[in-house]
Structure 1
Amino acid sequence: MSVSEFLQLVFYGATVGVLLAAPIGPINIEIVRRGLRDGFLNGWLTGLGALSADTIYAMIIVLGLAQFAENESIRVVLFIAGAMMMFYIGYHSIRTSLHETTVDTSTAPRGRSYITGFLMAALNPFGIVYWFTVGAGLTADAVTRFGDSAAPWLVIGVALGILSWVTVISAIAQVSRRFVTGKAMQWITGISGVLLLGYAIWFIVSAWRLL
């Protein structure tokens, strides 16, 4: 593989990563919420946790284990587990919005931010379906065009794209903090909680349809 082909492959993967990460969903909502409430690092760590889960799924494709993960019974379990995760975070956000009136970073649990992001991505069946459909197709295309060594570099490119997106929106949330009052933060936290509860319901309905 030539240097130009390598750069083309990584850029291709990075573009895919940004397109995967950009749509508004539970993870982006949580990154923004934590970034506004707790600062850049907590928002960024939430995104890094999600990136870690996405990278694992990407490696599963590279290793040829996608058929196992596409099993409907496994997807039902993931939908239910994901719904429980979204419900917990959504409920906690709504409860916090009813009492919290200040933005305080002194006790922000950074490790919890990473774990939250990881679990939200790992237990999101829609993200998994994306990887095992679109992701598998992209990997096959890269291997066809650049050879068997292309798949790992494609995964690295995707990871760089997701990381870039996470860094940008975390930075935007950090800059926006100075304009967000305690009352506005309450509203943002409450609305994000309601949206996450909506995703929890969506996951339960999706699991029911697979039964």
Structure 2
Amino acid sequence: MVTLFLTNILLGLSIALPVGTITIEMTKQGLKNGFMHGWVVGLGGMTVDLVLILLLYFGLASVLAVPIIQTFLWLLGALFLLYVGYDSIKNAGHGISLSGEKSTKSLKSSYFNGLLVAVSPGNLVFWVSIFGPILINSFDASNTINFLVIGSGILIGILIHDIGLMTIIAGTRKVLNTRYIQWASVLAGVILIGFSVYFFIEFYRSVGTLRG
């Protein structure tokens, strides 16, 4: 059981390591407002991950396999990422608190940003394709221990990654001035809008597939 737990902590770390929309938003908020704000973005993403784990356990994978549902999710994700990316560029020079200063941005707002970025087709499809098979193999109606061990291991792995990333960002932030942080926010916004464009393209392709 211990080996299973440690293995899935490593899986959680592997899931979190690739640079994606959550990592970009965490880095941006960490640079602009400090460790806690970046970490809270990660907690927002983990909230979505936890909900997805539970829903996958109860059969969400079959629902997400429906083409019209996937099409809707591509559009929803594109709109969310477009909003977050635009907001990142528009407010790049606002709400920046240098090391030692108190942030004017609320933790609740950072958490909500994490939720918005995490609710995307890429995240959903990733969880279905990676975690779905693991859940199916571990599912046992009479014994849910394996499921709890796997799920908690993965989430702890993601948490370790988030804390490690924010520790690095917090150290980097101490040597950056407002101008560099502002440009980092603009770059993050451009990348998020890039993801949004990709999601819009996938939405268009999905609509074409439905019509065909």
1:80 to 72, 75, 81: 75
Q: Give unpaired runs (5+ residues) of structure 2.
A: 208-212
Q: Determine the structure 2 residue equivalent to 1:36.
A: 31
Q: Determine the structure 1 residue equivalent to 2:183.
A: 187
2:127 to 124, 128, 131: 131
Please say if 1:176 is aligned against 2:172. Answer: yes
Checking the alignment, whether the CA contact within 8 Å between 2:13 and 2:160 is kept in structure 1 is yes
- The offset of 1:24, in angstroms, is 0.6
1:162 to 158, 161, 176: 158
* Deviation readout 1:141-169 (Å, 9 max, x if unpaired): 4459xx75311221111110111111111
Q: Determine the structure 2 residue equivalent to 1:152.
A: 148
Q: Determine the structure 2 residue equivalent to 1:198.
A: 194
Q: Determine the structure 2 residue equivalent to 1:103.
A: 97
TM-score w.r.t. the length of structure 1 is 0.89
Say how many residue pairs are matched: 202
One-letter identity of the residue aligned with 1:34: Q
SS in 1 for 2:128: helix
RMSD: 1.8
One-letter identity of the residue aligned with 2:205: R
- The offset of 1:103, in angstroms, is 2.9
Identity %: 27
* Deviation readout 1:100-134 (Å, 9 max, x if unpaired): 4953543121001111112211x211111121122
Checking the alignment, whether the CA contact within 8 Å between 1:101 and 1:185 is kept in structure 2 is no
Q: Where has structure 1 moved over 6 Å in runs of 4 or more?
A: none
2:15 to 12, 20, 45: 20
Cα distance between partner residues in 1 of 2:57 and 2:153: 14
Cα distance between partner residues in 1 of 2:45 and 2:159: 10
